[in-house]
Amino acid sequence: MKGNEAIAEAALRAGVQAYFGYPITPQSELPEYMARELPGRGGVFLQAESEVAAINMVYGAGGAGARVMTSTSSPGVSLMQEGLSYLVGAEVPCVIVNMVRGGPGLGNIGPAQSDYFQATRSAGHGDGRLIVLAPSTIQEAADLTILAFDLAERYRNPVMILGDGILGQMMEPVSFPPPQRRERDLSWATTGAGDGPRRLINSIYLDPDELEQHNLRLLEKYRRAQQEEVRWEAYRMEDAALAVAAYGLAARVARSAVDRARAKGLAAGLLRPVTLFPFPTAAFRQAAERVRAFLVVEMSAGQMVEDVRLAVEGRVPVFFYGRLGGVVPTPPEVLRQIEQVAGEVAR
Amino acid sequence: MKQVTDRPKVLLDVPMHYCPGCTHGVAHRLVAEAIDELGIRGRTIGVASVGCSVFMYNYFDLDFQQAAHGRAPAVATGIKRVLPDRIVFTYQGDGDLAAIGTAEIVHAANRGENITVIFINNAVYGMTGGQMAPTTLLGMRTTTTPYGRDARQAGYPIRIVELLNALQGPAYLARVALAGPANIHRAKKAIRRAIQTQVEGRGFSLVEVLSTCPVTWGMPPVEAVRWLEEHMLPEFPLGEFRTPEAREAVLVPLGGGGKG
């Protein structure tokens, strides 16, 4: 199954009730799948007039208590930034899929990881954050999609699945859990039921003290997520002297390179963040006590590397290798980087 | 003595924050009366927009969502699509609906989205302090057209009802004015009819409400009403431009027409 379709099917199994989106390559299979499947399975599909409208439809439906999602690619996420800020501010749960493509500007439709900053640093304007999940296989994309809906509701916060063009397009076998009915607390949602005190979906707090309290409450949620939701994978890290750090598609390439390095007798391992926000800071800090260096591999000019450096806090050197503009690094390329870094720290 | 009128039940007994002479209070009351009369208080959801009416949820005993600037029709679409048996209305000003929100209003109308839009046109941005709106009249002075609006530089006042009347989607389109008891009475009927259109599931309804903003217009309230009558009425003609009956007589009904 294609990655985009697997995410759509996983969302259906997770009980998604509404999808709003606008076509953009390389994720259009996702809305197409939803247009075909969702109405027959009791949900709402609507093609919006823009990503701006789509994310605001998500806000309306999510605020009304529906399990809701959208999907897009990089330029579309730029247009959704305003809506994301309101979603975070009003604490409306929803899932956003970003199949990242090369930028800046119109860029191209090649796979890229250049939206890491956009995804992890801030949800639009203000101090809000998204929870960001980064799958590296189709199976993981399906599993994380189901998790995304649960996290969105647990934290009443938007959750982003950060993939890339290839993850959306490539095909792998995938298995799905049977559809599950979940108990959901909708005591906050504007359902218009008129069965209690009136409810409000809102992000305006004119009094600075009140807005500060609101922000502190959001911060507390992120702190809780940092404690309870951090996910990562360690591969051949037990005795590694050199840790390669990569997520998503780049992590698959890095994994092959680590195996090749091991075959050559180099003690390399892979540390792969699955949650990009909250970032597995503690795992990196602990690894920094054992390894002699990190090599961060990204399909970007160097974005996640900042989080690695913040976690490592100068304990060991952190090297970076990136390919840009929709170019995917190859395992031999990354192997050469591993060898180079190994050579440098050996000196 | 016999009591002939009272506060609508859906309107909360709290002071409003609007400036003296502002017509938002009148428009709020007309919406509230329509909700009471149609008996839909227990199943109505409002969408507030950005502008002076941003806090309207403080005055209505209803569930409310507060939308980003211009996006209220998209937010209302999201609500209505997942809760089709609820009555969903937006309340938007001219900057919100006719400038930053043109894409959202045009497409919600064109989809025949079964929502109701109350569109307040006072020819100016009120909350931000009296800047030019898309509906500002030619020659009208605002803080960003200090020499009067010049069409060569800033274009023409947008007639939203006429613009939307070019689409097949809308079921009810009307323009009314909050100037004098007769006009206010007609405004009430139009707002009620717009919401009734939604209750009957007949599609998109919008009422443009010509309103005054005495403070940013720089005139006392009574003079502002006179100014509305003298200057806005010739530019924005009143009336029902589209009714569900007329639409259904000539157009394909909502949901029909496809070959499947």
Instruction: Report the CATH number at residue B139.
Output: 3.40.50.970
User: Would you tell me which residues 81-120 of chain B have a C-beta closer than 8 angstroms to some C-beta of chain A?
Assistant: 81-83, 86-88, 103-104, 106-107
**CB within 8 Å of A178: residues ≥ 6 apart:** A13
Within 8 A of B89 by CB-CB distance, chain A residues are none
Which of B98, B113, B119, B117 shows the shortest CA–CA distance to B167? Answer: B113
What is the identity of the amino acid at B75? V
> Would you state the pLDDT for residue B258?
47
Does the pLDDT of residue B255 top 60, yes or no? Answer: no
Nearest to B67 among A44, A56, A195 (CB): A56
Per-residue pLDDT of chain A (347 residues; tens, 9 = 90+): 999 999 999 999 999 999 999 999 999 999 999 999 999 999 999 999 999 999 999 999 999 999 999 999 999 999 999 999 999 999 999 999 999 999 999 999 999 999 999 999 999 999 999 999 999 999 999 999 999 999 999 999 999 999 998 999 999 999 999 887 778 899 999 999 987 899 999 999 999 999 999 999 999 999 999 999 999 999 999 999 999 999 999 999 999 999 999 999 999 999 999 999 999 999 999 999 999 999 999 999 999 999 999 999 999 999 999 999 999 999 999 999 999 999 998 87
Which of A137, A134, A147 shows the shortest CA–CA distance to A171? Answer: A137
Task: For B52-91, write each residue's pLDDT tens digit.
Answer: 999 999 999 999 999 999 999 999 999 999 999 999 999 9
Cα–Cα distance, A308 to B153 (Å, whole number): 52
Cα–Cα distance, A10 to A337 (Å, whole number): 37
Thinking of the domain A3-228, which architecture would CATH place it in?
Answer: 3-Layer(aba) Sandwich (3.40)
> Would you state the pLDDT for residue B259?
44
The answer as to whether B188 is a domain residue is: yes
Cα–Cα distance, B84 to B254 (Å, whole number): 15
Nearest to B66 among A48, A49, A203 (CB): A203
Does the pLDDT of residue B253 top 80, yes or no? Answer: no
The answer to whether residue A125 neighbours chain B at the CB level (below 8 Å) is: no
Put simply, the answer to whether A190 touches B57 (Cβ < 8 Å) is: no
Cis ω for the linkage preceding A104 (within 30 of 0): yes
Q: Burial of A266 by CB count in 10 Å (0-12 exposed, 13-18 middle, 19+ buried)?
A: middle
Nearest to A20 among B78, B80, B106 (CB): B78
Tokens of A230: 């951090």
**How do A232-235 and A268-273 pair as beta strands?**
antiparallel
Does the pLDDT of residue B260 top 50, yes or no? Answer: no
Q: Which position has the token pair 């060569």?
A: B152
Full-model pTM = 0.96
The DSSP call for residue B52 is: G
In total, how many domains does chain B have? 1
The answer as to whether B48 is a domain residue is: yes
Tokens of A262: 């091991």
Tokens of A160: 């982003």
The answer to whether residue A204 neighbours chain B at the CB level (below 8 Å) is: yes
Cα–Cα distance, B99 to B105 (Å, whole number): 10
Within 8 A of A204 by CB-CB distance, chain B residues are 54, 66
The answer as to whether B46 is a domain residue is: yes
> Would you state the pLDDT for residue A179?
84
Put simply, the answer to whether A56 touches B65 (Cβ < 8 Å) is: no
**A102 alpha-carbon distance from chain centroid:** 17
Which of A197, A178, A179 shows the shortest CA–CA distance to A188? Answer: A197
Among 3.40.50.920, 3.30.390.50, 1.10.10.10, 3.40.50.2000, name the CATH number for the domain at A232-346: 3.40.50.920
Per-domain residue ranges of chain A: 3-228, 232-346
The answer to whether residue A203 neighbours chain B at the CB level (below 8 Å) is: yes
Q: Which of A201, A205, A206 to mutate to test the interface with B (most CBs of B within 10 A)?
A: A201
The answer to whether residue A59 neighbours chain B at the CB level (below 8 Å) is: yes
The answer as to whether B240 is a domain residue is: yes
Q: Burial of A302 by CB count in 10 Å (0-12 exposed, 13-18 middle, 19+ buried)?
A: middle
> Would you state the pLDDT for residue B254?
54
Triad B65, A58, A47: Cα angle to 5°? 130
Nearest to B81 among A44, A83, A194 (CB): A44
Q: Which SS3 state, helix, strand or coil, does residue B239 take? A: strand
Share of chain A above pLDDT 90, in %: 96
Put simply, the answer to whether A194 touches B77 (Cβ < 8 Å) is: no
Tokens of B197: 């259109």
Which of B66, B45, B44 shows the shortest CA–CA distance to B55? Answer: B66
The answer to whether residue A198 neighbours chain B at the CB level (below 8 Å) is: yes
Residue by residue, what is the 3-state secondary structure of A281-317? HHHHHHHHHHCCEEEEEECCCCCHHHHHHHHHCCCCC
The answer as to whether B238 is a domain residue is: yes
Share of chain B above pLDDT 90, in %: 93
The answer as to whether B60 is a domain residue is: yes
User: Could you tell me if A288 and A311 are in contact, meaning their C-beta atoms sit under 8 angstroms apart?
Assistant: yes
The answer as to whether B234 is a domain residue is: yes
Cα–Cα distance, A327 to A219 (Å, whole number): 36
User: Could you tell me if B135 and B98 are in contact, meaning their C-beta atoms sit under 8 angstroms apart?
Assistant: yes
Q: How many CB atoms lie within 10 A of CB B51?
A: 22
Phi, psi of A98 (to 5 degrees): -120, 110
Put simply, the answer to whether A64 touches B78 (Cβ < 8 Å) is: yes
Q: How many CB atoms lie within 10 A of CB A315?
A: 14
User: Could you tell me if B191 and B34 are in contact, meaning their C-beta atoms sit under 8 angstroms apart?
Assistant: yes
> Would you state the pLDDT for residue A346?
80
Residue B95's domain comprises: 24-250
Put simply, the answer to whether B83 touches A191 (Cβ < 8 Å) is: yes
> Would you state the pLDDT for residue A256?
98
Identify the band that residue B256 occupies on the pLDDT scale cut at 50, 70 and 90. low
Does the pLDDT of residue B96 top 80, yes or no? Answer: yes
> Would you state the pLDDT for residue B252?
60
The answer as to whether B172 is a domain residue is: yes
